């Protein structure tokens, strides 16, 4: 008997077959070639394995045994409409809907509605007008609105939820004067007041700033709060790498770029945070902070935006207290990992890294290595320790991820689902994994 499988699998329900498939993937080490197989091939492998184990290789065909993946894929569209995605209960029916650029998709049928006039773009030749999407109730009227960050360096906009009335949503400019730069703006609570902010570069002023959403009902004014000097690093419209996390463990989250970090002061609305130089590696996308090796010093995780590479940067301190950063490679299997999320997706108490290929990041050109690789979406199972590990699990190989994606429980079953939008389309991956016990 193969470990992890029981005779009860011989009469599999859909749910059971999903578990079998999870266990099958976890039992074998896939070669690079196998990793590039189509998902159909993999399903067949799972079926063949099942046949060999339970039917002696006989009397078993694809038509009689169904398998499915640990994530159920919902295709909202295969058109390229946005490289960012956001979620929220748009129509207040209790179900979480999906927004991607000019459209929102109504759960559970994913009927498409227009937020504004939109059209699909050509993934081989075009960029969309929607790079990152965030959702919040901007004007505090208790209806979820959509924020769109467009081509790097342009002004952000938000669309006001029309409260179930017909027609397009009213468009508002966040700030005429702020060019939202750096290619990985974060939508994250910078000052710890419980309301999310836009953390980005102002590529016109060449400053790191955060934009605070209106705080009083009916207001549409976003406050621009600079934290760096003018002409700071990481502030070009096409700069790569930005994150928020507590590097020095003083309880306040600091702002991180690949060449250093700004130390958050007690009052995070103050300008001129102290900058500390640090070598945090190559151009990357979102940057995350955690103590991977559990030595009491926080480390930094990042993934390459346009090449291959996922890394953790170990914070090391010498006897005099001087800090250095040692780079460790986690994976070089997926190129163009232009967005990531850090969240415990398997429920074992450890935050996992989810990332995917920003398919055709620079269109159908050979600018980026691996442009024509399968568009993989994967999660890396994190086990902390002196030698921390991140084991790759594939979610899908014909989607990937865009410039930002969602990893939250959108079906309200306690499992973290994944929602992506990129040049492959818009997809929901419903988490059907069995939860691991802690």
Q: Which residues bind Ca ion (CB under 5 A)?
A: 137, 139, 141, 143, 145, 161, 246, 248, 250, 252, 254, 264, 291, 293, 295, 297, 299, 344, 346, 348, 350, 352
Q: How far is the CB of 246 from Ca ion (least distance, A)?
A: 4
The sheet that has 207-212: what strands, in order across it? 180-188, 197-202, 207-212, 223-226
Is 75 or 272 the residue whose CB approaches Ca ion more closely?
272
Q: How far is the CB of 251 from Ca ion (least distance, A)?
A: 7
Task: Report which of 248, 305, 314 is spatially closest to residue 275, judged by C-alpha positions.
Answer: 248
Q: How far is the CB of 135 from Ca ion (least distance, A)?
A: 10
Integer Cα distance of 112 and 246 in angstroms: 40
Which two tokens mark 399?
């989607």
Integer Cα distance of 347 and 433 in angstroms: 10
Q: How far is the CB of 9 from Ca ion (least distance, A)?
A: 25
Integer Cα distance of 71 and 27 in angstroms: 18
Q: How far is the CB of 121 from Ca ion (least distance, A)?
A: 27
Q: How far is the CB of 34 from Ca ion (least distance, A)?
A: 24
Integer Cα distance of 120 and 59 in angstroms: 46
Q: How far is the CB of 299 from Ca ion (least distance, A)?
A: 4
Is 263 or 283 the residue whose CB approaches Ca ion more closely?
263
User: Please, which residues bridge with residue 419 across strands?
Assistant: 406, 428
Is 226 or 347 the residue whose CB approaches Ca ion more closely?
347
Residue linked to tokens 């979480």: 96
Is 340 or 346 the residue whose CB approaches Ca ion more closely?
346
Is 312 or 360 the residue whose CB approaches Ca ion more closely?
312
Is 24 or 143 the residue whose CB approaches Ca ion more closely?
143
Integer Cα distance of 7 and 224 in angstroms: 62
Is 61 or 165 the residue whose CB approaches Ca ion more closely?
165
Residues 6+ positions from 399 with CB-CB distance below 8 Å: 73, 356, 359, 375, 377, 420, 422, 424, 425, 427, 429
Q: How far is the CB of 378 from Ca ion (least distance, A)?
A: 14
Is 16 or 291 the residue whose CB approaches Ca ion more closely?
291
Is 361 strand, coil or helix? coil
Residues constituting the chain:
438
167 Ramachandran zone, left/alpha/beta (phi>0; psi -120 to 50): left
Task: Report which of 401, 384, 407, 381 is spatially closest to residue 392, judged by C-alpha positions.
Answer: 381
Integer Cα distance of 300 and 245 in angstroms: 9
- DSSP assignment of 214-227 equals P-STT--PPEEEE-
Q: How far is the CB of 345 from Ca ion (least distance, A)?
A: 6
The sheet that has 145-149: what strands, in order across it? 132-136, 145-149, 157-160, 170-173
Start-end of H helices in 8-158: 14-27, 32-35, 39-54
Q: How far is the CB of 293 from Ca ion (least distance, A)?
A: 5
Is 112 or 313 the residue whose CB approaches Ca ion more closely?
313
Is 90 or 406 the residue whose CB approaches Ca ion more closely?
90
């Amino acid at each position: 008997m193969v470990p992890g499988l029981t005779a009860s699998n011989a009469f599999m329900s859909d749910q059971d077959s999903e578990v079998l498939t999870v266990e099958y993937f976890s039992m074998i080490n896939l070669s690079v070639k196998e990793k590039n197989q189509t998902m159909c091939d993999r399903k067949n492998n799972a079926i063949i394995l099942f046949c060999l184990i339970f039917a002696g290789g006989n009397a078993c065909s694809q038509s009689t045994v169904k398998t499915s993946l640990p994530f159920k894929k919902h295709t909202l569209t295969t058109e390229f409409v946005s490289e960012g995605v956001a979620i929220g209960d748009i129509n207040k029916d209790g179900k979480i809907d999906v927004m991607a650029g000019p459209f929102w998709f109504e759960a559970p049928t994913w009927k498409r509605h227009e937020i504004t006039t939109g059209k699909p773009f050509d993934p081989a030749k075009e960029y969309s007008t929607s790079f990152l999407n965030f959702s919040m109730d901007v004007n505090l009227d208790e209806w979820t609105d959509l924020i769109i960050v467009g081509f790097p360096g342009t002004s952000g906009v938000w669309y006001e939820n029309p409260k179930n009335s017909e027609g397009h949503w009213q468009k508002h400019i966040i700030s005429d004067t702020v060019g939202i730069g750096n290619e990985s703006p974060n939508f994250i609570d910078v000052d710890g007041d419980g309301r999310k902010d836009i953390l980005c570069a102002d590529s016109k002023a060449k400053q790191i700033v955060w934009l605070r959403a209106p705080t009083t009902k009916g207001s549409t004014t976003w406050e621009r709060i600079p934290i760096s000097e003018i002409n700071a690093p990481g502030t070009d419209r096409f700069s790569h790498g930005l994150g928020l996390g507590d590097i020095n463990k003083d309880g306040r989250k600091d702002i991180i770029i690949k060449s250093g970090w700004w130390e958050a002061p007690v009052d995070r609305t103050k300008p001129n945070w102290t900058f500390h130089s640090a070598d945090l590696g190559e151009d990357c996308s979102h940057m995350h902070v955690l103590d991977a090796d559990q030595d009491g010093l926080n480390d930094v995780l990042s993934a390459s935006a346009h090449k291959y590479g996922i890394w953790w940067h170990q914070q090391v301190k010498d006897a005099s207290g001087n800090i250095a950063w040692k780079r460790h490679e986690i994976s070089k299997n997926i190129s163009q990992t232009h967005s990531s999320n850090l969240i415990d997706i398997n429920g074992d108490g450890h935050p996992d890294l989810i990332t995917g290929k920003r398919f055709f990041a620079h269109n159908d050109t050979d600018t980026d290595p691996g442009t024509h690789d399968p568009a993989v979406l994967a999660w890396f199972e994190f086990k902390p320790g002196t030698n921390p590990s991140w084991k790759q699990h594939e979610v899908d190989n014909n989607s990937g991820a865009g410039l930002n994606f969602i990893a939250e429980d959108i079906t309200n079953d306690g499992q973290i689902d994944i929602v992506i939008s990129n040049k492959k389309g818009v997809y929901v991956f419903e988490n059907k994994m069995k939860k691991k016990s802690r």
